[in-house]
Structure 1
């Protein structure tokens, strides 16, 4: 696992769409009912019931998406006491859920600060250059298309699953795939945890290629991850989708010149 911190790849315009996506993800996370208790590690049943009710309405569920099997009973957010003790109250839904639309809403939901910050870090570092290359409108459409492809790909591979699928990582994986195609030789500063967070500057094709291989290995079951709830297959599909959509643009894209005298990707100050 590596942590990107900066890429040496100047842009020509302010990445307003990327900033807007990051802001939207943070706002939705902070407004998600019950997320405060989940983030703090508390076990308040009322908060968990509210969170579960919210996710059932706005998260993507593969079984609903592929087979259109909507549940007859869903959590209401209320706590009740039954024969087996306290639990979330179930009732017929008082809303109409559109599974295809839930793919879009799920792209702005995250389950923890670590989940959110990790996704937003990758989007901030690599999204600005893809937005710069595609233009704002095409970039926004590209982002959503990769998110949909990633979610549907994962859902088809897990068509009977009733677990909610959330997160922007499928769409962001598409951004990484496009970056690999368009800027493979651009230098990226990374931190390597197992080397005591030693900073290294490597070509994007090594950084992103390693990331993709790791996702593919995990998705195939060839390795065991501590984060067993991560939808690695969605990352793989989103990444490939991003590469395919960016490939026609490759002949017209050349890596920008690297600024002279850089230090961690920033212009170094001379003391003489």
Structure 2
């Protein structure tokens, strides 16, 4: 299930969404070496969020294997700034591309609903909420957490509140066959959120690596709540009026 576009026009150029995509790509190229070691491993160890480290639950100097030839060394005092830096790191090409695509599909309209500066603050707060959720569920985890997906989950949570009935076009992969379907946003995003909960329950208290399901769920819920504070009702009304006009609703026929 992969959304590739929605039937939702934009009011203004999504400058912050472009900026965030550019920052993530720049970090991937300049700091993470486009996935090549040792730059990738070093960036993940130094800039990724390690829950057990920031909470002081891991012994200083302990080595956490990251791969066959690399390990992260736990610091005596965890660096809380990694809650922010980890949002701009990725573990691989597919991780980066998938996240940036979701950000583009859903981020431009959420940015429309509140304006550029509010949207940037909203995005960062959702990312912090996502990191907090994963840390609370797995407080002793030695595994570095990286990725923009927690913050982007917040964007998706905002989208389902703002535009629940907007049509989302998706690719569906059925073995070797690929087809497309169109569903309302509430169905696609609601199903996605359910998958995060189902995937997350078995990982409660688990210190192994894998998908940070609770970061996704926490970010999504944070976005659904924060949008009520951050949205600009005037911009939302203007956007909905434009959407109705573009889809043939609310117009008058000439007599």
TM-score norm. by structure 1 comes to: 0.77
| Alignment counterpart, residue 189 of structure 2, candidates 208, 213, 230 | 208
Q: Could you tell me whether the CA contact under 8 Å between 1:56 and 1:74 is conserved in 2?
A: no
Q: Could you tell me whether the CA contact under 8 Å between 1:35 and 1:111 is conserved in 2?
A: no
Alignment of 1:191-270 (within 5 A): 191-194=171-174, 196-221=177-202, 229-248=210-229, 249=231, 253=236, 255=240, 256-257=243-244, 259-260=246-247
* Cα separation, 1, equivalents of 2:155 and 2:32: 29
In structure 1, list runs of 5 or more residues that go unmatched. 38-46, 76-85, 223-227, 262-272
Q: Could you tell me whether the CA contact under 8 Å between 1:65 and 1:155 is conserved in 2?
A: no
Q: CA shift at 1:194, angstroms?
A: 2.1
- 1:265 corresponds to: none
| Alignment counterpart, residue 122 of structure 1, candidates 102, 110, 129 | 102
* Cα separation, 2, equivalents of 1:142 and 1:108: 15
- 2:42 corresponds to: 53
In structure 2, list runs of 5 or more residues that go unmatched. 204-208, 249-255
* Cα separation, 2, equivalents of 1:160 and 1:91: 15
Alignment of 1:34-113 (within 5 A): 35-37=34-36, 47-48=37-38, 50-67=39-56, 71-72=60-61, 99-113=79-93
TM-score norm. by structure 2 comes to: 0.81
Q: Could you tell me whether the CA contact under 8 Å between 1:186 and 1:204 is conserved in 2?
A: yes
* Residue deviations 1:12-54 (CA, integer Å, cap 9, x gap): 11001000100111111112345543xxxxxxxxx34x43333
* Residue deviations 1:202-249 (CA, integer Å, cap 9, x gap): 111111111111111111129xxxxx6110111000000000011354
Q: 1:18 to 1:92 in 2, by over 3 A?
A: closer
Give the secondary-structure state (helix, strand or coil) at the position aligned to 2:202.
coil
Q: Could you tell me whether the CA contact under 8 Å between 2:53 and 2:78 is conserved in 1?
A: no
Q: Could you tell me whether the CA contact under 8 Å between 2:123 and 2:154 is conserved in 1?
A: yes
Q: Report the structure number with the largest CA radius of gyration.
A: 1
The number of equivalent residue pairs is: 233
| Alignment counterpart, residue 147 of structure 2, candidates 149, 167, 170 | 167
Q: Could you tell me whether the CA contact under 8 Å between 1:146 and 1:171 is conserved in 2?
A: yes
Aligned CA RMSD, in angstroms, stands at: 2.8
Q: Could you tell me whether the CA contact under 8 Å between 2:114 and 2:232 is conserved in 1?
A: no
* Residue deviations 1:80-138 (CA, integer Å, cap 9, x gap): xxxxxx95599897xx9762211111000001111001100100010000111111111
* Cα separation, 1, equivalents of 2:71 and 2:50: 20
* Cα separation, 2, equivalents of 1:258 and 1:192: 30
* Residue deviations 1:154-199 (CA, integer Å, cap 9, x gap): 0111111111000000000000000000000111111111283212
- 1:152 corresponds to: 132
* Cα separation, 1, equivalents of 2:29 and 2:57: 30
* Cα separation, 2, equivalents of 1:167 and 1:198: 28
Q: Could you tell me whether the CA contact under 8 Å between 1:57 and 1:97 is conserved in 2?
A: no
Give the secondary-structure state (helix, strand or coil) at the position aligned to 2:108.
helix
* Cα separation, 1, equivalents of 2:54 and 2:227: 27
